[in-house]
Chains A and B, each alone.
Chain A
């Protein structure tokens, strides 16, 4: 038969360890969605162009569709499902609701994972900076001005995450 054999992989996602069997060609995105039932990360293009699959690997933003799951062994993966603490939304999640920073919601997980990261990175000092650093995440509903407003709100509410400029 043609095709690679499955092999055991240990994945640490949102602080939890999962032991699963994967073919080495399985992307991190498909591993999350099809094997771990974590469908919050979205598949908009599977080609690295839309950003809907944005997750963090060791706190760095990556496109899960262009990352092989087996290459993530030994690394900490964070997804949208791990962002809220208990029942409390992350401030960026709350701000997205308040500012109506989404419509269909399909890009939203990726937008929020990017937004939280860029605040941490210190890349949110100005609207221009926010726009530039959020431009890897497409929103076809074009909620972009509201996405900027949501990020601004969180930046201004918490001085520890303000941009370094």
Chain B
């Protein structure tokens, strides 16, 4: 039955993307469009004393100035829950411009609406705001004494502390012990398309064009904030220029755009400037992670303690959960994981690709590398020796593949040719090192039932619809493949429509769950419609299949038959529908996820290997090659899945070598707020990457067994690179990104 699924088909939207025809949110043309410029707070804490608008109103083209004095109050504030949960999903539980208080720098304090982009930007620059600044905390260093242990994470969905056995005693008694203490700088998504929203009111009805990873989340959040019926809001997002978690929640600017449009009674486009993206949709928080391992002399784990400390906002207990893998990747009877937080004058942090675990597993895997050296056990062998075949509750993995990932990765990389001795390989000015890490990422079935609708027309064409989004994952391509196979049709006859809240319900595509949950609904819709059409045929006295056993009917290229080739009895969907004067027939399919407490461990596994060259005199690290092997269940489209995994691995490289923003505690503002100062890789930074799959069958993760590839590529790649740099130089790094001064040989040491 699988004709399209599993094939390396090129993107169905490729032509539109390479010709410039694909229209992103800020490119939707509307008559009478006005432009909104947002003004962010210049101080991190305090209040607004005065806003002088006089010069703004003198500027050409200004339609309105909105501040806390004249902006509509919100109806009610939804709680902070991940958008995957399917409800309202504000990025933070604070809504700006309701009073004169300033909680973080960049917090929206005014909006200027004008009849052109240039006029709005210029007029906004004329606004004169006076603040009374209060004391602020914006870094771990400033807030360390105020740290507290959170009760729950993710709006109460996850415990902040997880414990079994007696970790302190086990650590004290362990024959071998390693400790790591890492600092990780804050990261920003920097999607290449800055978030944008265009709001259009038609009487009481609101249409939002929004660059979002979840049209439903936008719809539900804005409905509650504005206090209008959900049915009055439609959210459209055809193309999204990157997500990475930065568009996973609904941030204040979306609703602000709707408020501004209502005020000026015109369509309003609010496009964040690049600098504003650093203070408008969350970030990966500045954090410290400490991890201690107790082990036997053979390297078997007896105790693991993993603690995270990070900065959150004044309003929300938000931290990326960093211990969901540490708690169960390796067999270990004594375990403690906990998250502590500091309330700081920053906006609420948020998901960023491979949330929590990109760094959580990196921390674990650096500790495992230290353990390998402490015990003399090969790093790959050490993982094989400790890996768990059941989750922390004793449930078997729904599918595994870790051992094969490790063995395949080691073979592809040539791990057996490695001399483990640190600083043992030199090529000219370069020290060469290699490192590895296990990648693992939990599957979270916190979404409500997912739905899709499919329709076959009497000309033999079909359309599958689902309110999911295309932000570069290739969802529209992969789902057309799934739909075609489910219907028994050629993929060229099937269109997949997404990006519209009027379509059947899907949760936001986050946490690597998009392909899994949406393909499940799409598949179920397709096979339901096929079942109905086949049932019609066998009941239809005019059909060559009349009276046939429905279960014996196969459908290929839209033609129903008994599987005996084109000469045998049969007819196409189109022929049957035309005879019955049916112009179209449709069906709704849905999929209910397994319960959160299902007796299966849900985890996706992989293995990362990397080779670096380090110039110890100037602290330069170049990544020479990367090998990643992953077991993501069924791969719907290997061409697109490889691209996503490769991108994730390069994100891990970026996190290790380049990405980090420093808060300036004096001003309470981020040091970098543009792509010249916040470094992301350029082409010359990115080595060629090898991505390989290990085939595993998963019977739990939906009817097709898809586990997802969005995060796993990034997980622990930073840890593998930290291990590789140690192997090259003989010195352990304790902070990311690896600044040159951390990598280079200390003054006075000789190479």
Residue numbers in B under 8 Å from A26 (CB-CB)? 118
Residue numbers in A under 8 Å from B26 (CB-CB)? 43
Chain B interface, >50% SS class? loop
Set B118, B274, B644: member contacting A103, Cβ < 8 A: B644
B55 located at the interface, meaning its Cβ lies under 8 Å from any Cβ of chain A in the complex: yes
> In the complex, A105→B22 CA distance in Å?
8
> In the complex, A124→B240 CA distance in Å?
31
Are A148 and B242 interface neighbours, CB within 8 A?
Answer: no
A117 located at the interface, meaning its Cβ lies under 8 Å from any Cβ of chain B in the complex: no
Are B193 and A2 interface neighbours, CB within 8 A?
Answer: no
> In the complex, A25→B471 CA distance in Å?
32
Residue numbers in B under 8 Å from A97 (CB-CB)? 10-11, 14-15, 18
> In the complex, A94→B686 CA distance in Å?
23
Q: Which of B379-387, B432-440, B646-654 contacts A (4 or more CB under 8 A)?
A: B646-654
Which residue of A has the minimal Cβ distance to B470?
A104
> In the complex, A44→B190 CA distance in Å?
9
Which residue of B has the minimal Cβ distance to A137?
B683
Which residue of A has the minimal Cβ distance to B242?
A104
User: Count of A-B contacts with CB under 8 A?
Assistant: 190
Q: With A3-B59, A33-B27, A47-B675 in contact, do A25 and B684 touch (Cβ < 8 Å)?
A: no
> In the complex, A134→B122 CA distance in Å?
33
B194 located at the interface, meaning its Cβ lies under 8 Å from any Cβ of chain A in the complex: yes
Residue numbers in A under 8 Å from B194 (CB-CB)? 43-44
Set A1, A104, A130, A142: member contacting B191, Cβ < 8 A: A104
Are A142 and B240 interface neighbours, CB within 8 A?
Answer: no
Which residue of B has the minimal Cβ distance to A106?
B241
Closest Cβ–Cβ distance, residue A4 to chain B (whole Å): 8
Set B10, B11, B20, B29: member contacting A109, Cβ < 8 A: B20
A119 located at the interface, meaning its Cβ lies under 8 Å from any Cβ of chain B in the complex: no
Closest Cβ–Cβ distance, residue B433 to chain A (whole Å): 22
Chain B: number of interface residues, binned into ranges:
35 or more
Give the contacts of B22-51 with A (CB-CB under 8 A): 22-24, 26-27, 29
B144 located at the interface, meaning its Cβ lies under 8 Å from any Cβ of chain A in the complex: no
Residue numbers in B under 8 Å from A46 (CB-CB)? 273-274
Which residue of A has the minimal Cβ distance to B687?
A145
Residue numbers in A under 8 Å from B689 (CB-CB)? 145
> In the complex, A137→B686 CA distance in Å?
13
Are B683 and A147 interface neighbours, CB within 8 A?
Answer: yes
Set B21, B118, B192, B650: member contacting A107, Cβ < 8 A: B192
> In the complex, A97→B23 CA distance in Å?
18
Are A40 and B20 interface neighbours, CB within 8 A?
Answer: yes
Set A23, A105, A147: member contacting B239, Cβ < 8 A: A105
Are A104 and B240 interface neighbours, CB within 8 A?
Answer: yes
Are B675 and A104 interface neighbours, CB within 8 A?
Answer: no
Residue numbers in B under 8 Å from A134 (CB-CB)? 682-684
Set B17, B22, B119, B676: member contacting A3, Cβ < 8 A: B119
A34 located at the interface, meaning its Cβ lies under 8 Å from any Cβ of chain B in the complex: yes
Known: A2-B55, A49-B674. 14 other contacts (CB 8 A): A2-B58, A38-B20, A39-B20, A44-B194, A45-B675, A46-B274, A50-B675, A100-B642, A103-B474, A105-B22, A106-B191, A106-B192, A135-B684, A145-B686
- Please list the 3 inter-chain residue pairs (A to B) with the smallest Cβ-Cβ separation, ordered nearest first: A40-B20, A106-B241, A104-B472
